[in-house]
Amino acid sequence: MLIIINYILINQIFVYFNCLWDVTMKRFIAIDGLDGSGKDTQARLIKEKYENEGTVVIRSHPTSDNFFGRNSKAALERGGKLNKIIATLCYGADAIRSVIKYYGKADTVIFVRYTLAVSYLNKAISVPVYKLVCFALPVSEYFFYLDVSPEKLVERVQKRNEKEEMFENYEAFVKVRQMAEPVLYNWHVIPADDSPEEIFARIETILDDLDSKLLNEPKKIE
């Protein structure tokens, strides 16, 4: 049933985006990385950077305000191979729903987690599926992957004191980090073991360069 739902949503999105590709949105930004990498913090800092220049929307996945997001989160907490598949499918539907509802609806749209869920698939198919996803869904040069060492990730997750998900232990972090590498070719990989301010400084340098190149905005002089 979930596969059918995803298929229907993807077909709907093809039709929908025929009217959306030429939007006046300035930036479509995605922040991804493993659990504990600081994605929400960086999304907030990016929002603060741009909110004086226009409207900014942040959408974090999986979200709890819809069926797909809630079921993706629940499946992650249950663990197991079947729930891994359910979590990935529901996550995909949640992300597609966000594209339909929010893409082009603000000057800057920020997605926390987006297309990299396919990296959890078998290595033999993850890259072809990722390329298909990037063909079907909007992408941009404003994609950032926060690369944190497994040791630092474990330390951060333990401090959060939340219920552990299936990808939130040292061995899982090592494995998932390796699985993500083949599909990071169109992402800016940001070293992210440091403080949020240091990480954001790296991201901001790239943001300013992209704004200058793509939006003809002058670079900021320190």
Per residue in 128-147, pLDDT (tens digit) is: 989 988 988 899 999 999 99
Segments in the chain forming alpha helices (H): 2-17, 39-50, 67-78, 81-102, 123-136, 150-160, 170-180, 196-214
What's the pLDDT at 123?
Answer: 77
For the record, the structure tokens of 134 come out as 């990037």
What's the pLDDT at 166?
Answer: 47
Kindly tell me if the per-residue pLDDT of 35 is higher than 90. Answer: no
154-159 contacts, C-beta under 8 A, 24 or more apart:
154/36, 155/36, 156/36, 156/37, 156/38, 157/35, 157/36
Q: How many Cα atoms occupy the beta-carbon half-sphere of 88 within 13 Å?
A: 19
CB 32 within 8 A of CB 144: yes
Q: Which fold has domain 2-212?
A: Rossmann fold (3.40.50)
* pLDDT tens-digit readout, 80-115: 778 878 888 888 889 989 998 999 899 999 999 999
What's the pLDDT at 152?
Answer: 87
Work out the number of other CB atoms within 10 angstroms of the CB of residue 48: 11
pTM: predicted TM-score of the whole model, two decimal places: 0.83
Average pLDDT over all residues of the chain: 84
For the record, the structure tokens of 173 come out as 């972090």
For the record, the structure tokens of 123 come out as 């290595």
What's the pLDDT at 6?
Answer: 55
Segments in 103-149 forming alpha helices (H): 123-136
What's the pLDDT at 185?
Answer: 94
What's the pLDDT at 22?
Answer: 47
Q: Between 67 and 22, whose confidence is greater?
A: 67
Signed CA dihedral, 44, 50, 52, 56: sign only: negative
DSSP structure string for 24-49: --SEEEEEEESTTS-HHHHHHHHHHH
CB 149 within 8 A of CB 194: no
